[in-house]
Every structure is written in C-alpha cells, then in structure tokens.
Chains A and B, each alone.
Chain A
C-alpha cells in the first residue's frame, strides 16, 4: 500500500546539473554582481565622507598646507569655533529665512493648485504638463534667466513694475531684503510643480466612493476636506515636504547665480563654499558641513517619524 503512494516525480532521474558550479552559491553570485557598484560607492561617497570627518578635526588648509599629512590634529576646536561664532548663527538664521517661507509657499501653492486640478476638465493633461516645465529646467539655467529678468535697469520685472504699473523700481538682487525675496520667488517658481505633482498623485489615489459616501452623509466641502482628503494625502505630502526641506536647505546654485552669495542671500551652503574655497579653511569647512548634516538628519528624522505615525494610524 505505502509503496504505491510514491509519486512519479521522485522516481524520475534528477534534473541535470547543467552549467551550475558547486562553489558558486547564490550569495556569492549576488556579491560578485554588487561588488563593482559597492566599490565605486565606497570610493566616491563613503571615503570622502570619512575623510572629511577626519579633516574636520584638523587645522588642514588645502591652500597653504603642502600635504594633509602635516595637518595638525586640533580635536573639537573647529566645531567649537563654528558653534560659537555669531556669524555662523546668522547664516543658520538666513538659511531658515529662506527655507521656511519657500517650502511653506511651495506647499500651499502646489497643494492648492493640485486641489483645483483634482477634477475633470478640458485640457487638464496639457496644462499639467505646462505647469511641470519649471521643474525640468536646470537650476543654473533658471537662475541665469531670472537674473536677467530681475536686472534693476533692463530687466522685464522692473519694466512691468515701473514702466507699465508706474511703481518705484525694485533693486531685486542687490538690496538685502529683496534679494532674499528674489531667491524665494525663483525657488518657489521652480519647485512648486514638484509639490503639485506629489499632491495630485495623492489626491487621485483617494477613492471616489469616499466622497460619495460623505456627500450622502451630508458633509460640507470643508468637512470632506478635513476628514477625508487631508488624512489620506497627508503622508505623501509629508514626503514631498521632506524632499523640499532637504533640497532647499542645501540650495547653492541659485543663490550663487542670482547674487553670488551677496548680502541677504548668504545661506549656509554659500557660506560653507566661501570658507572652503575662499579662505581655504578646509578643516573648519568640514566641521560646518558636519554640523549641517546633523541638523538636517535630525529634522528629517522628526518628519519621518510624523509619517510613520500617520502610517500607523492606517492599520
């Protein structure tokens, strides 16, 4: 009886081993394929990271020190210097004055436009594509033509303000406050589409029947927005905000192209650049870089936690 229950498969001869090499396990094979990438990554990312971490504890100056071997170990001196210099705090504040309004503005505009677009209308696809164009322009290029438009005497912006509307011309890029405003305008112009895109994706993913149920339940538009739209789109929006925060925080090209880091727009990355390649204080610059890194990691961490919290609410 039991002998008959043997399935035919087991009595068939085992499949031919083919080209399989015994010593080549799946893990080894995977490792072999990954190795070149890992090595490259190690060389261009991990190594500089560790290297600059080391340099941040030295008084190394890439211009005057003949070799990094002679760099003097100074312990945490660079960090202490950076954290106690009022100028650095001013830079942090200047960065914050840029990042907070910019990301807020991008969020409000992007989400707002997405809300308007969250319905069927003629030409929706085309207009959506047009709205996305600024995002596709290289930041450097965007900075260059905005610089032209912001020119105090020949720029089109002042032409509109002064010649057409009859107001006083604005010194867009040279005045402290208006330089920062210019920076905010250009970055908002370029990256609002990003938030718009993410919001639109989130809004489209909200099932239509939830709104139908809410309609039948006699909920007001605001109630539907507050209780259906927002909770469902919020996690995705937070991801968009993290992206924008990190990106705005490390903004360099735009500030450099628009004002060359002039008054009012000397945000942290510009400051870092000037320490590193103006003063050639490599050690100090590395220390500032690490301080910036810690700040952004802490910030991102907070937001990621917020996302996880709203994700947990889903279960």
Chain B
C-alpha cells in the first residue's frame, strides 16, 4: 500500500526509446490503467517500477522515496508478467504458493491462502497441474494467483487478461475491480484494450511510442481526448476525422474539399480561433454522435450508405459524404440497405476540433 511516482522516466534500448520522459503519479490505493498499442513501452514502464529494468533517466518513487537503489525484492511489489513467467517444474499450487514459501509460512497457512486465491480465480480444480498442462487463459490466472496471494505494497499487472475469452474477460474485469477494493491496495495495470482501461481504471494514462499522451479519469479521456492519438485509440469504434477549415467571417466549418459547410457552435468557434492555422483543422465526431435519417433534414448533409455492418446490439454504417467515409453507430433496429441515400447530421455539441499541424485538441 503505497503511492508510486514516475518522474521524467526514460528508458532506451540502443536506438529505441522505449519510455520517453514519462511522469505519472499513482495515489495510494488507486487503480491506474496504462493503455497503449503494442510497443508503446507499457511493459518497460512496469519493469522500471518493479526494479527489473534500470531507467536511463528520471526516477521511480514509492511513497515519495527514491527507490533507485532498492532491489526488486525489497520493493515488495507483486508483478503479473505478460508472458506469465510460471515456474515450469511446479504445479499450479506450488506456483501460487511460491511467494509464501519464500517467506517461510507454515504449510497449513499456505494451503489455506492458495486455495482461497485459486477459488477466487476459478482455478481450484487445476491446482495439481503443471503449467504445460494448462491452457493459456488458465496459466494467466495462475500467474494472477501468484500475485494475488501476496500482500505487497502495490500490484503491477502486465496485460493479465489478454488470453481469456470474451466472457471470462468481462467477468475477470469486474472481479479484479472488486478484488482491488477488497485488498484496498494500489494497482498499476497495463493493457492494450481500451475497454479494459475505461471499465477498470480510476484513472487512465494513454501511452504511445514511449510518450504519455494524456492522463485522466475514463470520462475525461473519452469526452475530452487531448490529441488525435487519444481520440483515435479510445472508443470501441474509431472516431471520425474530417479535414476542414474554419471561416471566421461566417463562423462555419467548411470541409477541405468544399463539399459541406456547417455552422460551428461557440465552443468549436473558440477552439478554432486558438489554432495558428484555422484553415487546417480536423473535426472529430464519434460514430454515436452521428445521426442518420432517411428523410432530408434541415442542415443535414447528403450521404450514401457504403457498407453496413449489423453487430447484434447495434449497427455500424460506413456512409460516404463526398469523398469522405464516416462511421455511424445506430440502434440495431435502424435498418438500411447498402447504397441507400441518407441524410447525415453531426451532433456538433459533442464534436471535437484538432489542429492538424500539432494534432492537439482545440476544444
């Protein structure tokens, strides 16, 4: 139970900068999720925190104390490795018991603890198997168990749910969240799955190519992405990006090809004026903020359905507006044929504006 602070953390591997000047504070008992695509430097960051990797620059602090000279064991953190790192000659039971045995607990205590943990992770029926006799998802849960059985200062978890099927993953997400509340401990959690990040994190840190893009609550990240990368990465259906220009005289946003013009509400207008080059902007609209209709509406754009994807509980349409393709999320009951002509309306109150040179959000 301690807070973790990363100060200007930098880690290079030869010419690769795996982590670049990363600063992040995790409060005691907070659940922080670092999310980013593959190769973003998530594992490297965690390894620096655990003491398995020596940062080239910057430092890691536990409760405000520099832990540069503190060994991994003395840092007393539990780590769930991305590749599980299970002990191959040991059974699941022995794997989970390992941290307890290393601490010289009595056999009865160990047994009770291991079984309690295994039941929580639903692997109690697999305890006498060796890692090679377990499926990937089962191994992953043994690795989780080996961490959960401890009472460390903090839990570091490197994509601990990636190998589980969809349903089990959803279950484990809420289970982990519950466990975190129960253990009342600091969780530093890494994933490439933005759904996991949004649903589990007290706060989310978005990482790409070693650089921290944004830190905030799930709502902040989702509603106010700081830049194009965050806007594109967060959200189960990618945000639509439309090149446009702001015309100060009319207060309108005009598409780059001149195909459409939309009046900008005050929020977007203010944003556009912050840009050095209001002629080169990117309008960001989430698929659920686009309205389709078969009847021509006031101020609506003309479009044509290009691809229809029925996804069960909702539909996704790719709609062509001039040369641009726009993804639209609609209720499952809203059925359209391919090639159908539709009118398209953007919910401008929830739209985002980005500077295309700096890629930073303007709203």
List residues of chain A with CB under 8 Å of any chain B CB.
Answer: 207, 209-210, 212-220, 223, 227-228, 231-232, 313-315
Contacts and interface: CB of A to CB of B under 8 A. Distances in A.
Nearest to A234: B89
B239 interface: no
Contact of A223 (B72, B102, B132): B102
21 contacts: A210-B87, A212-B72, A212-B81, A212-B85, A213-B81, A213-B85, A214-B87, A214-B102, A215-B73, A216-B50, A216-B52, A216-B77, A216-B78, A216-B79, A217-B98, A217-B99, A217-B146, A218-B76, A219-B73, A219-B98, A313-B130
A218 B89 contact: no
Interface of B: 50, 52, 71-73, 76-79, 81, 83, 85-90, 98-99, 101-103, 130, 132-133, 146, 150
A216 B73 contact: yes
Given A213-B81, A217-B146, A231 B98 contact: no
A314 B102 contact: no
B72 A220 contact: no
Interface SS, A side: helix
Contacts of A217: 98-99, 102, 146, 150
B228 to A, nearest CB: 36
Q: 7 tightest A-B contacts by CB?
A: A217-B99, A213-B85, A219-B102, A231-B89, A215-B72, A218-B73, A209-B85
B153 to A, nearest CB: 12
B81 A314 contact: no
Contacts of B76: 218
A218 B87 contact: no
Given A215-B73, A315-B130, A220 B102 contact: yes
A313 B91 CA distance: 10
A231 B95 CA distance: 14
Contacts of A218: 73, 76, 99, 102-103
Nearest to B99: A217
Given A209-B81, A213-B81, A216-B52, A314 B88 contact: yes
Given A213-B146, A219-B99, 18 more contacts: A210-B88, A212-B85, A213-B81, A213-B85, A215-B52, A215-B71, A215-B72, A215-B73, A216-B72, A217-B99, A218-B103, A223-B102, A227-B98, A231-B89, A314-B89, A314-B130, A314-B132, A315-B133
B52 A212 contact: yes
Given A215-B72, A232-B88, A315-B132, A209 B83 contact: yes
A218 B130 CA distance: 22
Contacts of B88: 210, 232, 314
Contacts of A315: 130, 132-133
Nearest to A213: B85
B87 A228 contact: yes
A275 B220 CA distance: 93
A207 B131 CA distance: 15
Contacts of B86: 213
A216 B133 CA distance: 25
Nearest to B130: A315
Nearest to A228: B87
